Amino acid sequence: MTKVLFVCLGNICRSPTADAVFKKMVAEAGLEDLISVDSAGTGSWHIGHPPDRRATVAAAQRGYDLSLLRARQIVKEDFSQFDHILAMDAQNLADLNAMCPPGRNEKVRLFLDYAPEAGLTDVPDPYYGGEDSFDHVLDLVESAAAGLLNQLNQHR
Ligand code: 4NP
């Protein structure tokens, strides 16, 4: 089993979106027994909360279900539990690297490394943005999720 964890700041906008998009791709590829997917936030404000309504609505318009997800904060054990820990932006990456036990940093990467065609390193935080920012998140997440699945398939 390959275990993938998506991480943003609040775990209510970007990483739940990545979680739902990638889960759907994995299911459609028939790989649910081989790839598991989860998400977490570096911050603690939203622990136990459902995803942001705007993220839920934008995702639903593309056929992704965020409604059952609940926010949690990253914990030390995640660095041993997961094989790939993918940060939505450079600040998330820095925060993850700062708490990562020695020798496990190679698991921690920027999610958009898997979408070089996007020409961005960060999935911009949509929390204070308009409705468009949630669609932009979805565009970037769909690209990187496809790249990630390709990469995992090549290494199987
Ligand atoms: P996320 O967005 O990191 O994509 O879940 C945010 C959600 C909440 C906050 C910031 C970003 N906040 O400051 O509460």
Any idea where the domains of the chain sit in the sequence? 2-154
Judged against a pLDDT cut of 80, whether residue 156 lies above it is answered with: no
User: Residues 6 or more apart from 108 whose CB is under 8 A from it?
Assistant: 79, 85, 87, 93, 96, 97, 100
Residues 6+ apart with CB under 8 A from 57: 134
For residue 72, give the DSSP letter: -
Q: Which two tokens stand for residue 108?
A: 């921690």
Task: State the pTM of this model.
Answer: 0.98
Residue to mutate (ligand 1; options 95, 125, 136, 137; most atoms within 8 A of CB): 125
Say yes or no: CB of residue 14 within 6 Å of ligand 1: yes
Fold of the 2-154 domain:
Rossmann fold (3.40.50)
* pLDDT single digits (tens) 83-135: 999 999 999 999 999 999 999 999 999 999 999 999 999 999 999 998 899 99
